[in-house]
Structures are given as C-alpha cells and as structure tokens.
Amino acid sequence: MKRLLALALVIVMAVSLLTACGTAKKAEESTGQSSQQASDQQKPAESKKWKIATVVKDASNPWFVRMEQGVKKFASDTGLEAFMKGPSKADAALQVQVIEDLIAQGVDALCVVPVSPEALEPVLKKAMDKGIVVVTHEASNQQNTMYDIEAFDNNAYGAFIMDNLAKAMNYEGKYVTMVGLLTMKSHNEWADAGIARQKEKYPKMELVPEQKIESEDNQEVAYERAKEIMKKYPDLKGIMGTSSKDAPGAAKAIEEMGKIGKVFTAGSSLVSVAGKFLESGSLSTITFWDPADAGYAMNALAKLILEGKKDQIKDGLNLGVKGYENLKLKGKVLVGEGWVAVTKENMKDYNF
C-alpha cells in the first residue's frame, strides 16, 4: 500500500513539474513576443526611408540649380530619398501639374517654392488632405502649408536691398522697382519694404509713378523692360531688382545704353549669373541667401515633421544649416538670418 501511495505521489509531482515547465515556456514566449512588439513600436520614425520632393519655380533657373545641390547633400547626409522637380519655366499652372504628379507618386513630403501661393492653395490642400507633409519657402502667406521657412525677415531684406541701391545712387534721384511676377509674394514684399525704407531714410530719392515692372523671372525680359523704362524716364537713376534675373538684366541694358555710372541697379542674384556685370560696374551690389542652404533647411524641417517631432519646432530651432541655426517662429513662419551682400570686391568669395 505504501508503495502504491509513493508511486502515485511521484506521478503527481512529475505532472505538476511538466505543467509548470510548459507554463513557464509559454510565459517566456509571450514575454518575448511582447518585448519584440514593444521594441517594434519604439523604433524611431526615421527608420523609414521617407520620400521628400522639393518643387521649385523653374528647374532651369541657376538659383534653383544651386538649390538642388542642397537637396542632394541632404539626401546624402540622411540616406533619405530626397530630390528636386520643377517646371521648365516659372508658370503656376505647370507647377501645379508637377505637384499633382508627385501626389500620385505617393511622396511623403513636399517642399515647395511657389510661383504663386494663391494658385497653389488647392493642390497643396489636396496633398495635406492625403497626409503629405507640406513645407514652403518664399511664401509667408501660404495657407495650405504646415510651415513656411524664410532665410530672413522679408521686410528687413527689402530694406537692405534699398540701402545698397541708395548708396550707389548717392542717396538721390528717381528709381523703379522690378519683380519676377506681381503674384510672387516674396518679391513684392521686398519691393514694398524697399519703397518704405526709401520714404523713411532717403527723402531725396523718388519712386517714379509706375507699377512694379514684371521681368517674368527672365533675364532677357528684364533687359528689354529696363531699356523701355530708361527711355521713358531719361533721368532715371536706379532700378531695384528682386528676382535673381532682374538686376543682371537691368545691368545689361545699362551697359548697352552707355549709362554705367549714371544709372545703378542692385538686387537679388548670384555671382554665376551677375558676376560679369559686377566686374564691369553696371551692377553695384547683389544680395542673396544661399539657395542650397534653403533647400537643405526645407528638407530638414520636413524630416522633423515626418518623425513626429513638431514639439521641437519653436523659437531657437536649429536645422543645422548656416543662417538657420536660431530660427524665430511667427505663427507658422520660421525666419532665419541668412543674407549676404556681394560687390566686385568680394565676389570671388562666392563661387556659385
């Protein structure tokens, strides 16, 4: 009897041990699965290879050719699929089509430099409604964007251009302003700020009674229209440019008409476009921010949003690019400190 009881006890203990081992194994498997799931959930968002498209006004414009260098550097630094697209000329309808195509391709983010912020509102809304991150540049009035990023305060920059033009004109005489298109927000803000600066600081200067001259963001058009305005106003002394094509086009007209030293121009451009006119003296000063840095900064901002780090987008934000290390947030516009002034004397420092 005692032997039977002992045998029964051994059997019970063995069954209990097997059950415990099975339970422990299941618990271990369950714990392992839970840990793996938690690990998967905690993986940073940047582990995904985001697809970020930068859309510019005119892909053939040297300004945006330079911007593409910044986009490519961002792609190289991050390993993300970042690239640039744009129409063959600055045309809002063509730019809308480029964006439509990119939406259809399923990009994760769009970094856009609008030809016309107003014309792009519907297509950018469509992109945002589909969950695509939208960041803009040179479009402080854009409604359908998560953030607009500017190299500087537009009013301060326009005033800075005027200061350079006024100095060349010896602070007196008649002048006109030129913009790429009347729909280009930043160009018009710079022109308006330049006019305001003249009225505030340079009373001996006079704006001729003309609407802002449109260069159509084309150097040859700027050249032709500068000739027309100089013929209409023989005593014209200054032309303030905003598009990167305005001042070089005006400078070419100044050279051709034999007015070097009599008519002066200053405005946004690049040394690669305007260098020969700085050398000849037909162009006094060009001002710009490095479009490569702007391209990089837009993409870095889009990446930050894609990673779910919008809480970092505030005053003092550092995007790791010169001029964008201490951004100021005004509503949804981020403002940097990125402009430079280039003359014949320092142009060799800027080889683009």
Decide if 95 is inside a domain.
yes
Query: How far is it, in rounded angstroms, from Cα 17 to Cα 11?
Result: 10
pTM of the model: 0.72
Residues 168 and 201 in one domain: yes
For 74, 75, 133, 205, 254, the CA distances from 307, given in Å and listed in that order, are 16, 16, 11, 51, 51
The tens digit of pLDDT for each residue in 162-192 reads 999 999 999 999 999 999 999 998 999 999 9
Q: Distance between terminal CA atoms of the chain?
A: 102
Q: Please say if the pLDDT value at position 7 is more than 90.
A: no
- Per-residue model confidence (pLDDT) at position 39: 33
**DSSP letter at 310?**
G
CATH code where residue 96 lies: 3.40.50.2300
Q: In this structure, which amino acid lies at residue 256? A: E
Residues 132 and 77 in one domain: yes
State both tokens at 60.
Answer: 């053939």
| 321-346: average pLDDT | 94
Residues 256 and 318 in one domain: no
Residues 225 and 257 in one domain: yes
Residues 58 and 113 in one domain: yes
Residues 106 and 164 in one domain: no
State both tokens at 239.
Answer: 């032309």
Range of 126's domain?
A: 47-152+291-338
Residues 165 and 284 in one domain: yes
- Per-residue model confidence (pLDDT) at position 73: 98
Residues 295 and 245 in one domain: no
Residues 52 and 147 in one domain: yes
The tens digit of pLDDT for each residue in 61-71 reads 989 999 999 99
Residues 58 and 145 in one domain: yes
Query: How far is it, in rounded angstroms, from Cα 115 to Cα 113?
Result: 7
Contact 139, 145 (CB under 8 A): yes
Decide if 14 is inside a domain.
no
Domain count, the chain: 2
Cα 103 from chain centroid? Answer: 19
Contact 103, 90 (CB under 8 A): no
Q: Please say if the pLDDT value at position 6 is more than 50.
A: no
- Per-residue model confidence (pLDDT) at position 351: 80
Which of residues 251, 268, 288 is at a domain's end? 288
Residues 276 and 302 in one domain: no
State both tokens at 256.
Answer: 């051709």
Planar angle of CA 286, 289, 293, nearest 5 degrees: 150
Q: Measure the CA dihedral 52/111/292/306, to 10°.
A: -50
Decide if 343 is inside a domain.
no
11 Cβ neighbours under 8 A, 6+ residues apart:
none
Cα 4 from chain centroid? Answer: 88
Decide if 222 is inside a domain.
yes
Minimal CA–CA distance to 282: which of 218, 226, 229? 226
Decide if 11 is inside a domain.
no
Contact 241, 274 (CB under 8 A): no
- Give the range among 6-15, 55-64, 210-219 with minimum mean pLDDT: 6-15
Decide if 349 is inside a domain.
no
- Per-residue model confidence (pLDDT) at position 36: 36
Residues 214 and 109 in one domain: no
Q: Tokens 């069954």: give the residue.
A: 15
| Residue 155 φ then ψ, to 5° | -65, -40
283 Cβ neighbours under 8 A, 6+ residues apart:
247, 248, 250, 251, 254, 265, 266, 269, 274, 277
Q: Measure the CA dihedral 347/85/182/205, to 10°.
A: -10
Decide if 39 is inside a domain.
no
